[in-house]
Structure 1
Amino acid sequence: MTNTSAFNAPLELAADAVLVVIDVQQGFEDHEYWGERDNPGAEQRIGELIEVWQATGRPVVTVQHRSASGPLTPGTPGYELKPVAAAVTPDLHVTKTVNSAFYGTPDLDAWLRARGASQLVTVGIMTNVCNETTARMGGNLGYDVIFPIDAMHTFAMAGPDGELIPAAELSRATAAALHTMRFAKVVTTEAVLAAAARPVTVG
């Protein structure tokens, strides 16, 4: 397969591109539970994108994960959104109990199609779990998915052999899979912000 750099590719951002802010919840601050994370600047990058989306009038969707136990359990402080996401008045708020934001309430796909939206920018937590699953499903559903890899983070995870895989390595693997198999355009936040500053296109 041809290996081209998505970071250097021109990026066009639609006038109605939807920012999907996935699971930016307080419970992910429990590092004793989750372990080592990567990309400590993720929340700042998420905030920069939210600010531009609000300034340009583009729609924002927030997503919140409901776990049966653990740090993301409803009714606990960990379930609540972090300040960067809580400050948003979203156009749609989705709650879910699985990895994909497309399997939540209200139905994200139905809402997007009703608006005629075709381009998504996914950010949030975790890179290789809910973000990646949402991006893959979005690509399969025919959406143009943009994946600013520095506006998200994940945690180290043990493989089936018990070896701990660093968070940064998991993020790189996610970026490679999404890019090579064309599920999404893997880019930087800087590229998205630059595209947002240019004259917008429709659809």
Structure 2
Amino acid sequence: MEIAENTALVVVDVQVGFEDEAFWGPRNNPEADGNIAGLIDAWQESGRPVVFVRHDSDKPDSPLRPGNAGNGFKPYVEERRGRGSGAEVLVTKSVNSAFYGTPDLRAWLDAAGVRQIVVAGIQTNMCVETTARMAGNLGYEVFVPLDATHTFDLAGPWGSALTADELARATAVSLHGGGFAKVVRSAEVIAAAG
């Protein structure tokens, strides 16, 4: 794996509201937060660009809605913002893809000559997967360190349900097997960026 000097780390929706287990249900991968923090640190130490994405939900009952404490970044992310020597941007959105946010992520990446991105954050099968799929469709080389993401159990149609681990595996297979992204481990990405 080769990580370019201007590869952008896209940190998706690592917000306090996702700690609300009563709202979201059981989650997987308790190591995700430590792995996300490690990626941010590695990116900032190397001077690479970091994109912080925040979901501003328009649903009145969402813990992620603006004005709710849950809308803010988790403390370990908030304390890292602005600490790197590389470019940094905050993108806000109300849908799954960070490419449909403000400011325009694609324009920001293209202006910096970025062709490679690493997507980490919450939720694996929602905003992380959607952002990675769209990035792949837009022609970026995309890496998704699966261990730097997490999600929640989810009910589907006809009484079906999948656990958070099952959803994460499905995302990994869809992204990697479908050619949208290379699914990797955070330690591999950090080593390649070193």
1:196 positional shift? 1.3
- Pairs within 5 Å for 1:9-48: 11-48=1-38
1:47 positional shift? 0.3
Match of 2:190 in 1: 193
Give the unaligned 5+ runs of structure 2.
none
Match of 2:57 in 1: 67
Look up the equivalent residue of 1:12 and give its one-letter code.
E
Deviations 1:170-201 (A, max 9, x none): 0000000101111001000011011012xxxx
Deviations 1:150-179 (A, max 9, x none): 001000000102222100000000000101
Match of 2:91 in 1: 94
Look up the equivalent residue of 1:124 and give its one-letter code.
G
Q: Name which of 157, 162, 171 aligns with 2:159.
A: 162
Match of 2:74 in 1: 82
Structure 1 outlier segments of 4+, above 4 Å:
none
> TM-score with structure 2 length normalisation?
0.95
- Pairs within 5 Å for 1:47-66: 47-66=37-56
1:14 positional shift? 0.5
> In the aligned structure 2, how far is the partner of 1:33 from the partner of 1:181?
31
Match of 2:116 in 1: 119
> TM-score with structure 1 length normalisation?
0.90
> In the aligned structure 1, how far is the partner of 2:129 from the partner of 2:32?
15
3-state secondary structure, aligned to 1:36 = coil
Give the unaligned 5+ runs of structure 1.
1-10, 198-203
The alignment of Structure 1 onto Structure 2 pairs a total of residues equal to 187
> In the aligned structure 2, how far is the partner of 1:193 from the partner of 1:13?
9
User: Once superposed, what is the RMSD of the aligned Cα atoms?
Assistant: 0.8
